Amino acid sequence: MEKEFDIQEYLANGAENIIKNAISATLKNPKETLFLAKFMKHSRKASKIRKQYGKNDINIPAFLIASITSRCNLHCAGCYSRANDNCSDDAAYNQLSDDDWEDIFKQSRDLGINFIVLAGGEPLIRKDVILKACEYPEILFPVFTNGTMLDEYYDLIDEKRNIIPIVSIEGDETLTDSRRGAGVYNQLIESMNYMNDNNLIFGASITITNENISYALSDEFITKLYDLGCKVLFFIEYVPVDINAQDLALTDNQRDYLLDEIIDLRKRYEEMLFMSFPGDEKESGGCLAAGRGFFHINSHGGAEPCPASPYSDINVKETSVLEALESDLFRTLRSSELLMSHHEGGCVLFEHEKEVQKLLNKE
């Protein structure tokens, strides 16, 4: 009998496998080898910490998504962050300081959280926070970036190997520039070539819609990213932000096709990591949000189930990360059937936002 796919195991081991394969390809880089040895040690320790909490019925996920700013320098079509008023051009008020984020990183490390996705807005706008993250080699920080500011960070990424750029791309030049702006595609390819030539680990993220799914899964696109040195590829299913964008969401058949193709890609490109959000929830028994597999802290400190479900009953400026994970909203979501329920779109909590709001307002 074939072993059931374990999304948590795949997530936890995947980043380590990326680094292992990167090392085997760049043995001439001693900094990479040193980082690998240290990170492996920290990763094993983090796993033991999470298991110890689990014995006391406290679920600690390996992953945190941290939106470290609400500012962005692009206006991507269909951006859910702007639609949710979580993203703007102006300097936002009440943003967590770099010291606030450093405290969150420290607490997370002590809880056994060893993968923190830095998101935004555009996270590279917050160099002060990136510098704080660099000081926690126990944690791997994938940085989901539009890639337009990467040239300011190459030396830092080379020196501090726990910062992993994940550049957003929509497919070919036409698909990418039509959503992100003219010239963005060529800038991304130039950045990927530079990182590949200089042995810097990086990945890519593509928002999957019914318009680009065929190209995104094509041999042409995957081979191009592979040849450019991409080590991880995130397929993010498009979450419709308003009624006028519903037709961009994947159909059930397209979602099944996506998952089947990813299974094939994992076999064909063993040296790369392929993730689909939220598609992998089908193989992991439901949605991974609300601390089941990951959770989200927004730029103001609110602890939310996930970025696409911007509801919170607790703020880490007023409490601890552990207390946030054990909040009434998170515990109720994890114990209810909502995370396991059927949904048509890309995100179960986004689609069932009224139910989440009811839980949030429950007295």
Q: Is residue 356 part of a domain?
A: yes
d(CA 8, CA 294): 10
Look at residue 132 in the predicted model and tell me its pLDDT: 98
Residue 1 covered by a domain: no
| Secondary structure letter of residue 277 according to DSSP | E
- Count structural domains, the chain: 1
- State CA 124 to chain mean position distance: 15
Give the distance from CA 163 to its chain's centroid.
13
Q: What is the CATH number of the domain that holds 184?
A: 3.20.20.70
Look at strands 163-168 and 232-237 and give their pairing.
unpaired
pLDDT digits (tens, 9 = 90+) for 84-142: 555 555 656 689 999 999 999 999 999 999 999 999 999 999 999 999 999 999 999 99
The structure's pTM equals: 0.87
Q: State the Cα–Cα distance between residues 268 and 281, nearest whole angstrom.
A: 22
Q: What is the pLDDT of residues 183-242, one digit of tens each?
A: 999 999 999 999 999 988 899 999 998 889 999 999 999 999 999 999 889 998 887 765
Write out the residue range of the structural domain in which residue 54 sits: 7-360
